[in-house]
Chains A and B, each alone.
Chain A
Amino acid sequence: MSEGNLMELRSNAPTGPIEERWTKHKAASNLVAPANRRRYNVIVVGSGLAGGAAAATLGELGYNVKCFCYQDSPRRAHSIAAQGGINAAKNYQNDGDSVFRLFYDTVKGGDFRARESNVYRLAELSLNIIDQAVAQGVPFAREYGGGLANRSFGGAQVSRTFYARGQTGQQLLLGAYSALSRQIEAGTVEMFPRHEMLDLIVVDGEARGIVTRNLVNGKIEAHTAHVVVLATGGYGNVFYLSTNAKGSNATAIWRAHRKGAPFANPCFTQIHPTCIPQSGAYQSKLTLMSESLRNDGRVWVPRKKEDCDKDPRSIPEADRYYYLEERYPAFGNLVPRDVASRNAMYVCNDGLGVGPMVDGQRRGVYLDFADAIKRLGEQTVRERYGNLFEMYERITGESPYETPMRIYPAIHYTMGGLWVDYNLMSTIDGLFVGGEANFSDHGANRLGASALMQGLADGYFILPFTIGNYLGTKRNFKEIGDDHPAVKDALNEVTDRIKGLMNAPDPKHAPEYYHRKLGAIMWDKCGMARNKAGLEEAIEEIPKLYEEFKRHVKISGSGESFNQCLERAGRTADFFELGLLMCKDALAREESCGGHFREEHQEEGEAARDDENFSYVAAWAWNGESGSQKLIKEPLSFEYVKPSKRSYK
């Protein structure tokens, strides 16, 4: 798309009957002949479910692929930490599931802020993903007859979640990693571990390469290609404390944004309701406990404030407030993530929180398995959740078999990301974005067990196809050389930026010092509940803190060697700019929907969505400097799932 068209975002979503759209789109697309594929170079940044699967599949098809990750091995991408499972509309349980129902649940769960065409395709492809994973040897849980087992998961009324103990993400990622390894061996994919993308090379509105830093020796290098795929994950670490890996960062997508790719719905962040509460200021990250725990655990707090520091086992049944079961009798403990999270915050705001005091407040609620152990026996509970219970005990020193777990919400997933069309291409031609890094399928709220599904749908089945469609339109499409001015400019920009970071005028503190402060602003003012006054304060505070960071950040060591402090500084700098945009977006969206809860917009304590004025994707286009982005709207229309009030009562 050329710059003149930027003000109009074209989704390129097909029309016609929804169940035929993807099939028809494929039938009408361009193809690249097998012998021609090896002439095309494709860069894939990120080796998680989306990136790893895309790199492997593109390699299989015969493209020349280079895959980059910042970790020491592609097997360590953060997809590996997903615990609970992956949805698929197989209807193996005969409980009324279908592709349409998964589509319907996902659109509704996303609070009507996603594109119907994309979501339907996702539900359709869920079937192929399970087939593919099983064929790779992913050891999913099985029933005694040898068939695949399912469980119901976070907010779904059917059992459609496939799982491998509490390590579904690990097993699916190792499946994608094995496919990737096979292609590396075959020579179709060249792997670059310990490489971080620091800029995108754009020539005439087309993505033509990236600039990377070799994290071992500090070398800055340019890699050119015909197509660039970003599958670099989400930006939850803007909050400093989140369930993301310590290294997860937004630098790749942020650099692409600065080069012209609009950033869509940045304020749509997801808070996961079942994480282990913070225990002190030294804390480096928060740990999620799978949401599947809510299938059998009961959430409660004491009814009386004076009981909050008592041994929970000594509190009689009548004095326990099972607030989710009382407020939402139909869904009970299985209400969607945003509803569960906000209610935990409310009861803690009311002074009913439990656990240690951090900054003068108890921020935790109980998740109790006593009834489940009575009903099912300890052995069954151990089979279902044993590894999660062990993990909880290692971190807190308490055994959930004996005393209720303590949980509290934490930032877990970001629905926002780079804007993409139906082909997963951004407004920069040849720049494709997959997985959590794009904004596409989850609207304002992601349902449990849907992230793995989206990552793999993008990676295995959508990107390899839409990239072929894009390349198929090209004639005489030559790679740019390393001596192209755009390459030199990008290399110089990156080198200068690193020099700037290394040479702050008055160095005082390590990058984390500033990152923690940014995180505190974001969590207080752009977290689980937001309001105008708070967001306006944050929009004032963040640039000031950013200036302080630029003046005082202290980085020891050199830029020409292995330097983890420098890596963190660069990522933190980009989080400042992204955090500011998130607050701008949250302020502009004068409604509550999904994970975005504006306190001014509620009815009887529930989120009040405003379809008349806000049924659109908010895509922000870079406009020369941080904080001055322009809003472009992609209107959303709903033909199949009519927007309804999202009520779980």
Chain B
Amino acid sequence: MSDKTFKMTLHVWRQSGPNDAGKFERYECPEVNPHMSFLELLDDLNERLIADGQEGIAFDHDCREGICGACGVVINGVPHGPQRRTTTCQLHMRQFINGPHEVWVEPFRASAFPIIKDLTVDRGAFDRIIQAGGYVSVRTGSAAEANEIPVPKKIADRAMDAAECIGCGACVAACPNASASLFTGAKISHLGLLPQGQPEREDRARKMVAQHDAEGFGGCTNHNECEAACPKGISVDFIAQMNRDFLKSMLTAKDDVPNRK
């Protein structure tokens, strides 16, 4: 692996607040080390900007190991950048050795994700979708002995495939409809597959889908861009499962789900 540094030009979306129009600013990075991560490149640029008296570029990040879901920017039109199944914090600059050496960096754009500043967006809508029903209603201390209900290994593994979602929002940013169907479907499927999730399965699908729509996310029209952009590779099959649970629930529902936003 080459250790040679290279030059890069970044065009970064700068927007001082939700009501500012925002625009791209051009920055030169004369020494990009191939072993640094994309966020470390932004760190380095920020340290130079701050020492120069300018404001650093605001971007969300935390664990920097691909699991917390805080980070995420659109790099040359692709959420989390060019490497498949990789969050922005885990994207290393060796991916850019052979170009492109001029890149455009933008926030995850969707009307349900209002911009707070620069590359930082408000993903509170995701929390509200979970609050609408993304849980098993079990009181602390009331649980049965853990091995009392056997769960077939295949089912547990499948539930885990869905549960791996990190809630970053790349699926929304990738979707031409800004739909959060993959995010919502992943949680509905995770809980709907397990025996523990059965009692509330249909209600859950109905409530979470209603909240998804109320937040202003679009519908799914099977572009499957979400799965391609998902850093955890969550499958669009879970959208199909959500649709099935939702449909079944609408046919059998006895009460209306209030609109909650």
User: Hey, which bits of chain A sit against chain B, CB under 8 A?
Assistant: 53, 56-57, 60, 71-76, 78, 80-81, 90, 92, 128, 130-137, 139-148, 164-165, 167, 169-171, 174, 177-179, 181-182, 184-185, 191, 193, 216, 243, 245-247, 279-280, 282-285, 287-288, 356, 390-391, 394-395, 397-398, 460-461, 464, 508-510, 512-513, 554-557, 561-562, 564-565
Contact = CB atoms under 8 A, between A and B. Distances in A.
B69 A75 contact: yes
Contacts of B122: 72
B126 A73 contact: yes
Contacts of B136: 135-137, 178
B35 A279 contact: yes
Given A181-B127, A510-B46, A461 B68 contact: no
Nearest to B50: A510
B141 A132 contact: yes
B127 A73 contact: yes
B37 interface: yes
A139 B127 CA distance: 20
Contacts of B91: 394
B152 to A, nearest CB: 6
27 contacts: A73-B123, A78-B62, A81-B68, A135-B138, A142-B152, A147-B147, A164-B163, A171-B160, A181-B130, A182-B137, A184-B127, A191-B127, A246-B62, A282-B40, A282-B43, A284-B39, A284-B43, A287-B65, A394-B91, A397-B1, A510-B50, A513-B47, A556-B49, A557-B55, A557-B56, A562-B117, A565-B55
A181 B62 contact: no
Nearest to A179: B135
B70 interface: yes
Interface of B: 1, 3, 16-17, 33, 35-37, 39-40, 43-44, 46-47, 49-51, 53-56, 58, 60-70, 83, 85-86, 90-92, 94, 116-117, 120, 122-124, 126-127, 130-132, 134-147, 149-153, 156-157, 159-160, 163-164, 166-167, 190-191, 194, 196-197
Contacts of A132: 138, 140-141, 143
A73 B124 contact: yes
A56 to B, nearest CB: 7
Contacts of A562: 17, 58, 116-117, 120
Given A71-B70, A132-B141, A556-B55, A246 B64 contact: yes
A193 B69 contact: no
A399 to B, nearest CB: 12
Contact of A280 (B35, B70, B94, B166): B35
A233 to B, nearest CB: 12
A9 B49 CA distance: 49
B62 A193 contact: no
B68 A245 contact: yes
Contacts of B147: 90, 92, 147-148
A284 B68 CA distance: 16
B152 A146 contact: yes
B146 A80 contact: no
Given A146-B151, A184-B131, A245-B62, A139 B138 contact: no
Q: Which 6 A-B pairs rank lowest in CB-CB distance, beginning with the nearest?
A: A146-B150, A135-B143, A178-B135, A131-B143, A139-B160, A510-B50
Nearest to B196: A137
Given A80-B63, A246-B61, A284 B145 contact: no
Contacts of A143: 153
B150 A135 contact: no
Given A143-B153, A178-B136, A394-B83, A134 B62 contact: no
A243 B68 CA distance: 13
B140 A461 contact: yes
B96 to A, nearest CB: 13
Contact of A510 (B47, B60, B145): B47
Q: Which of A56, A80, A92 has the most CB of B within 10 A?
A: A80
B60 A72 contact: yes
Nearest to A243: B65
